[in-house]
Structure 1
Amino acid sequence: MDPENSTGLVLLNMGGPDSLDSIEPFLYNLFSDRDLIHLPLGAMLQRPFARLISHFRARRVRENYRIIGGSSPLLKWTNLQARAIATEMGPAFRPYVAMRYWHPDARETLRRMAADGVERAVVLSMYPHFTGATTGSSLNDFRRAVASVHPSLKYSVIEHWYDWPGYLDALARRVREGLAKFPAEMHDRVQILFSAHALPQKFIDRGDPYLEHVLSTVKGTMQRVGERNWHLGFQSRSGPVRWMEPDTVEVLDRLATDGVEAVLMVPISFVSDHIETLHEIDIEYLDHARKQGIRHFHRMPSLNDHPDFIGAMAALVTDHLDRNK
């Protein structure tokens, strides 16, 4: 492969701890990010705050990571996605991954790209829905890294793809696969519960498009699945701030009160398995749902590196490049 004729394909993602020992430094990096957590008293207090909260949070989440294998699988899935999309695109594309809060970070990745002689790239956020807390933060970090590590790189960015038809098609197929897990006699009574990662409400109040994007994805998916009851909740809320509502657990409780016995969880702000799917949904929510009387509780399969999802992402990159010629 001639580097001068190569285009880098850079997938941006959150990252996750690759061992139990890396949980605390990973959390420190996350809580130090002022795009994600903006302390009103200024940057001077951000690092002490991050050090304190990461220390105590690590104690609580260490067991969760131990249960799912001792590390996050997010890097594995993002690497697989990057390689598969690049393969689908053709030999002129070279895959790279840049994680926001763990390795390889943007600077590591850009140093590798510079060493490889890659001078142009497409940067693809692996968050379908835009918010300044995730995609915005990752892009800010990537741009800073380009300026300091590889300033000659010419690149374009795909910031969101919440309504990309191929993505919605893949989601609808996974929903149907999830529905197939229920007993035939329950099939028509299954309630679909979409769950997205929560944001502090202040992000939405200041004009962040995340909620609008999430709702568009839900409606586009259900148009493909067909007429069914569906609900939307927001998970992974923590800390003493006002969060987006309703909480996913509150929706589960309401469904149980209404006598619902079958729920399919559809996590839509996550395209890969990680702690929020493998532990929060598969273990915590499953246990909670059963205690509330929801006898049949399943999660749809994640998109991960499924061929239809990879094909949709390759088509998205191709469309982006065609529009930016």
Structure 2
Amino acid sequence: MIKTKKGILLVNLGTPDSPGTSDVRKYLREFLLDPRVLDIPAFNRYFLVNGIIAPFRAPRSGASYKEIWDKEKGSPLMYYSIRQKELLQEKLGDGYQVELAMRYQQPAIASALEQFRKEKVFHIRVLPLYPQYASASGGTVNQKVMEEVGKWQVVPEISFVNSFHDHPLMIETFADLGRKHNPSSYDHILFSFHGLPVRQLRKADPSGRHCQQVAGCCSRININNRYCYSAQCHDTARLIASRLDLPEERYTVCFQSRLGKTPWVEPYTSDVLKRLAAEGKKRLLVFCPAFVADCLETLYEVSTEYDEEFRALGGEKVQLVESLNDHPKWIDAMADLARY
């Protein structure tokens, strides 16, 4: 029997090559022109992205990236993604070949897959680095992989990890990271996830009769919402809270990074900050369990923007719980997800 290595393809969102406006604009264009991300008619999407969003948002986003860009390490997302790839390769050993790709920008998915083909690796497991499934995250990664290997003469055996929102080791890692901040010393805990348009949640409902139509539709995982992003987010938060012995009244699930004026999944993190400030809360601890590596949305949006916003409302502190990054227990979780 011929022995061959098994391939593991890690895929994260992506990052600009630099915080410069031109590089950020290039990144935004590729990201937002993806029809799974901005799911509107192609002409409207092209006009909106190229004529409005990219030109006007790139300078502001570039300034934000500069705040988190390390002079030596560069993009935190890229740095920690590379660390995860290296540590996972070390953990899995010589029987596996681990490659890293970004859905947008470099290293490209096509290039990573080509490395497998060069090394004659024809058993590939794809691990999108998004704990909760969404068409705009894990879905677009899986589609891109299938498009690329569909061009090959010999199509490899491929399996996909669609989500790992409830993986015990991942949950325990977030809990460990939270314990370092002594949650009992904070007035309230937030689990802030990246937001999505409500229309995308509805598209993920196979019954067409559950999402936004049943009271508490995201409160428990069932056959209709098993791949609902919001339902998986609520489940992740509940599991972490359980590990930390947090009663329901001590934490809130919310969603950040809204874009545009169409309805997005609620409550919005900014609205929750206003409510908590009005209730007299002063210190907030924030988990961001939609991200496996610190990035713009955690290091800047939460640690800087939300902290400043909350202080302006009369609060004292918004404290970010760092992401999984290169935590040893998270590498163990990745290894468990990768083995097949």
Provide TM-score, normalisation by structure 2. 0.86
Q: Deviation at 1:51?
A: 1.8
| Paired residue secondary structure (2:94) | coil
Structure 1 residue corresponding to 2:113, chosen from 105, 110, 113 = 110
Structure 2 residue corresponding to 1:198, chosen from 182, 195, 200 = 195
Following the alignment from structure 1 to structure 2, what is the Cα–Cα distance between the partners of residues 154 and 177?
42
Following the alignment from structure 1 to structure 2, what is the Cα–Cα distance between the partners of residues 114 and 15?
23
Q: Deviation at 1:50?
A: 2.5
Q: Does the 8 A contact of 1:26 with 1:101 survive in 2?
A: yes
Any residues of structure 2 matched to 1:10-89 within 5 Å, and which? 10-19=9-18, 20=20, 21-39=22-40, 42-52=41-51, 53-69=53-69, 72-89=75-92
Counterpart residue type for residue 68 of structure 1: I
Q: Deviation at 1:152?
A: 3.0
Q: Deviation at 1:73?
A: 2.3
> Residue 89 and residue 68 in structure 1: after superposition, are their counterparts in 2 closer, same or farther (change >3 A)?
same
Q: Deviation at 1:188?
A: 4.6
Q: Does the 8 A contact of 2:307 with 2:317 survive in 1?
A: no
Counterpart residue type for residue 315 of structure 2: I
Q: Does 1:234 align with 2:233?
A: no
Q: Does 1:148 align with 2:147?
A: no
Counterpart residue type for residue 114 of structure 1: R
Q: Does the 8 A contact of 1:4 with 1:118 survive in 2?
A: no
Unaligned stretches of 5+ in structure 1?
181-186
Structure 1 residue corresponding to 2:326, chosen from 305, 308, 312 = 305
Counterpart residue type for residue 226 of structure 1: D
| Paired residue secondary structure (1:14) | strand
Following the alignment from structure 1 to structure 2, what is the Cα–Cα distance between the partners of residues 31 and 58?
12
Moved more, 59-68 or 47-56: 47-56
Following the alignment from structure 2 to structure 1, what is the Cα–Cα distance between the partners of residues 235 and 153?
36
Unaligned stretches of 5+ in structure 2?
206-226
Following the alignment from structure 1 to structure 2, what is the Cα–Cα distance between the partners of residues 142 and 50?
24
Q: Does 1:216 align with 2:248?
A: no
Q: Does the 8 A contact of 2:289 with 2:323 survive in 1?
A: no
| Paired residue secondary structure (2:180) | helix
Following the alignment from structure 2 to structure 1, what is the Cα–Cα distance between the partners of residues 201 and 181?
30
Following the alignment from structure 1 to structure 2, what is the Cα–Cα distance between the partners of residues 63 and 227?
37
Following the alignment from structure 1 to structure 2, what is the Cα–Cα distance between the partners of residues 210 and 114?
33
> Residue 54 and residue 4 in structure 1: after superposition, are their counterparts in 2 closer, same or farther (change >3 A)?
farther
| Paired residue secondary structure (2:28) | helix
**Residue 312 (structure 2) aligns with:** 291
Counterpart residue type for residue 317 of structure 1: A
Q: Does 1:139 align with 2:142?
A: yes
Q: Deviation at 1:23?
A: 0.7
Following the alignment from structure 2 to structure 1, what is the Cα–Cα distance between the partners of residues 305 and 268?
14
Counterpart residue type for residue 258 of structure 1: E
Deviation sequence 1:33-70 (CA, Å, 0-9, x none): 0011122xx32443343322212211221111112127
Residues paired across the two proteins, number: 309
**Residue 183 (structure 1) aligns with:** none
Counterpart residue type for residue 14 of structure 1: L
Instruction: Decide which structure has greater helix share.
Output: 1
The CA RMSD over aligned residues, in Å, is 1.8
**Identity fraction in percent:** 29
> Residue 115 and residue 4 in structure 1: after superposition, are their counterparts in 2 closer, same or farther (change >3 A)?
farther
Counterpart residue type for residue 302 of structure 2: I
**Residue 9 (structure 1) aligns with:** 8
**Residue 163 (structure 1) aligns with:** 166
| Paired residue secondary structure (2:14) | coil
Q: Does the 8 A contact of 1:110 with 1:150 survive in 2?
A: no
Q: Does 1:316 align with 2:337?
A: yes
Following the alignment from structure 1 to structure 2, what is the Cα–Cα distance between the partners of residues 237 and 164?
27
Structure 2 residue corresponding to 1:250, chosen from 226, 248, 271 = 271
Q: Does 1:100 align with 2:100?
A: no
